[in-house]
Amino acid sequence: MTYPSYSFTKQNNILFIKSFMILLLSCLTIRLDLCFSSVPSSLRALPLDGHFSFDGIEFASKDFGNRYNLPPLAVLHPNSTSDIATTIRHVWQMGPGSELTVAARGHGHSLQGQSQARNGIVINMKSLGGGQKMQVHRGRFPYVDVSAGELWINILQECLKFGLAPRSWTDYLHLTVGGTLSNAGISGQAFRHGPQISNVQQLEVITGRGKVVTCSQEKNADLFHSVLGGLGQFGIITRARISLEPAPNMVKWIRLLYSDFSTFSRDQERLISSERTFDYIEGQVIINRTNLINDWKLSFKLQDPVEAQNFKSDGKTLFCLELTKNFSPENTDAANEEIESLLSQLSYIPSTLFISEVSYVEFLDRVHRSELTLRSKGLWDVPHPWLNLLIPCSKIHAFAEGVFGHIARETSNGPVLIYPVNKSKFDNRTSFVSPEEDIFYLVAFLSQATPSSSGANGLENILARNRRILDFCEAEQLGVKQYLPHYTTQEQWRSHFGARWDVFMQRKSAYDPLAILAPGQQIFQKTISSS
């Protein structure tokens, strides 16, 4: 016996299930399409020696500053310069209708998202590294040809095999060549040799049009000077030729303390202006530190241990002059005599002379030892709200009185560096901007905000202190420039570059007219055209 009503219901159910399954599959297909439509299919088809990553790319949305998180759509792991050129050329050819931008990322040591590209492409420049691509050339004017993704520590170790080394450094060597050359690369040797951008003979650069260009002082000179200190705005540096000098074996590492800023700064300026002087000159501001003498005794010898015990650092603002003299073991006596002669001209607190004898590599890589200690305690991957300033020499006393004497009188959770450099060692044709005086100071507040930090060392309080310092500089018209600058409006950038803004704009128009490169700097915004 059949029941027509039952048969009708069954058919309806089957029809309903089929319709539901079709609808479900359609929804899944649409969802997958939406997921992949954000990544242009043409990227997946590009002929590359390396490859793109579209998943597991969270690392490219973070940096050392650990405050900004701007996820990209894709990360390029290039195996050749051609991979980068092909990618940028493709984005260029997509024209203003595409929202894609491109950022080069070295060791990710940016502080405020400068190497990030929200919904764009991040190029993992370390993929271009590798010692096999490094070539050391000896001779009357020695140099090393390196990939821009190479770490400076690796360059040092390779060059030392030939008894050579670069002349100018940063305090931290685990940074990539392209990263430091896009800023300046300043350390305690800059007073004599200039920053790292003053020690480059030749570059290979990929412009915002995807064009590969070899440039130097003599060839394509405008592009050469544009990208040095250019914050990544005009091209991606892919190779560099770095000047070298004979490498020393050993270093006399010296620290001296001052309680008076005027005396401290006078001695610093005298040392950087003398022909016969030390090989490295930096300084630190030490605020309300306890057990300073005992801390330093772990790695430094006291010249007069008995007298030093009478020195109390608690509660004082002190200024530390940090110096080195390079030497070879066979010339130890001559080095000691020269050091003694140089020190006799300085007015430091006599009981606070600390001296250590270390290898050249040990001194240059000193910050890495601190990194390993902080990593072991889980204190490396924390927010780093750093503030780096360049201050005209004529204004440094007003700055010291207002900032060290009032705004920053509390203990800093991180070092505060201060040292002068000679402007004559900086090339004004580069994109780097500094105060218009013969001598200017670098002052760096290298704070860190740990999860347990509170009070003065909490993140918000450190940021508020930084703002107070900047506001003070502006109110007092000190003519300060930011190093590793960060601004959020083009008007602020225009003020930063001052009279050089027009040249900066012209260079951008010439080498990256669609504003594809380095969007994280927030200098230019890519104009999107619906047509």
What residues act catalytically? 109, 171, 282
CA gap 126, 109 in Å, rounded: 12
Q: 48 with 83: CB under 8 angstroms? A: yes
DSSP string, 170-227: -S---SBHHHHHTT----TTHHHH--GGGSEEEEEEEETTS-EEEEESSSSHHHHHHH
Can you say whether the dihedral through the CA atoms of 171, 173, 174, 180 is positive or negative?
positive
Q: 270 with 345: CB under 8 angstroms? A: yes
CA gap 465, 287 in Å, rounded: 15
DSSP string, 486-531: --SSHHHHHHHHGGGHHHHHHHHHHH-TT--B-GGG-S--PPP---
Place of tokens 């350390």: 187
SS3 label, residue 362: helix
Q: 88 with 210: CB under 8 angstroms? A: yes
Alpha helices by DSSP H, 379-458: 396-399
CA gap 255, 348 in Å, rounded: 10
Alpha helices by DSSP H, 396-487: 396-399, 459-475
Q: 57 with 122: CB under 8 angstroms? A: yes
Q: 421 with 191: CB under 8 angstroms? A: yes
| Residues paired with residue 442 on neighbouring β-strands, in sequence order | 390, 419
CA gap 313, 258 in Å, rounded: 11
CA gap 54, 73 in Å, rounded: 6
Cα radius of gyration rounded to whole Å, the chain: 27
